[in-house]
Amino acid sequence: MKIALVTDTHFGARGDHLAFDKQFAKFYHETFFPTLKERGIRNVIHLGDMFDRRKYINYLTLRNCRKYFFDPMFDLGIKLDVIIGNHDVFYKNTNDINSPGLLLQQYSNISGYDRPVELTYDGLDILILPWICADNYEDSMAMIKDTSATVCFGHLELAGFQMYKGQVNDHGFDSKIFDRFDLVCSGHFHHRSNNRNIHYLGNPYELTWADYEDPRGFHIFDTETRELEFIQNPNKMFYKIFFNDQFVIEEYSYLKDCFVKVIVQTKENTTNFDMLIDRLEKAGPADMQVVDDHLNMDLEDNDDILESAEDTMTLLSKFCEQIDTKADKKMLDLLLRELYSEAINLEST
């Protein structure tokens, strides 16, 4: 039996930005569901953070994700099991009030799990672990210790794994508590990675500049061989264009509704540069920025140029590392990340 695994879909991400919503729809219409049809897959497990906001939903976002995700799932007769993630819950100390449970009641093919449970797929027992909080902590630890299942799927925060490419999480649970399992698959961190028996599956599409050139997609799990097959999303959301005086202008229609950074290495040929900007603007990107390295920032090489275009999360972490303070820098970093996430969620209100 083969099961599709998808996680951290974050419907409504980036303040319900329509450009991202279009990218989501494109992925499901052109990659996700065609693959499920081709493989004859009738079971999907979502490993948490289905919706982006913890406390409310945008009606347009809800309608759109029903059309491109939930309705096709129902129409194809696919069973969807949902593991509740931290973005899905209203309170931080309990998973009882969660968005999938409240918003998806009309779908008879969807089951949500806010507490640890063992499920059986084609004779294989799998431990399901939703977001571990104060309310379900004891039950979760007991299930991890006592379960007979050798496979675990969850929405876990483990120390030592990359949240984003190059950004290692230094807090959370010790991964050693999962040593007894042959395979652990988790949502939560958006960068796809693995260490020994633990696999962070990564989210299906790019959401921030931290995701630039970091492969995205979903997985197919084989219950017999216990192998994971990665199906890559061919679509990108973030592009960098490096301009110099030998630059050749191309066709940029593929950049419509995408995010673009133009990295200027040399610009003696201002006519060619102006033509490039004009061509890019006509392509209709969702956002375009120009990083003028040598003229304005005195940068020396591509590493410095890329450093200047870092995402907000990276800048916050570096600020915490460099600031002169007696406060716990790790806790300060975590607080700033939480505040930034809350600010993003309030962006469109």
Q: What is the pLDDT of residues 293-324, one digit of tens each?
A: 654 444 444 444 444 445 566 677 777 776 77
The CA distance from 136 to 156, in Å, is 13
Q: What is the pLDDT of residues 5-27, one digit of tens each?
A: 999 999 999 999 999 999 999 99
Query: Percent of the chain at pLDDT above 90?
Result: 80
Q: What is the pLDDT of residue 26?
A: 98
Residue 282 tokens read as 């006509």
The CA distance from 285 to 261, in Å, is 10
Q: What is the pLDDT of residues 257-302, one digit of tens each?
A: 999 999 999 988 889 999 999 999 999 999 999 998 654 444 444 4
CATH number listed for the domain at residues 2-232: 3.60.21.10
Report the predicted TM-score, pTM, of the whole model to 2 decimal places: 0.85
Residue 68 tokens read as 């491109």
Question: Residues near 156 by Cβ (< 8 Å), separated by ≥ 6?
Answer: 129, 132, 172, 173, 184, 186, 187, 188
Q: What is the pLDDT of residues 56-87, one digit of tens each?
A: 999 999 999 999 999 999 999 999 999 999 99
Residue 220 tokens read as 């197919």
Residues of the chain with CATH 3.60.21.10: 2-232
The CA distance from 83 to 301, in Å, is 44
Q: What is the pLDDT of residues 118-135, one digit of tens each?
A: 999 999 999 999 999 999
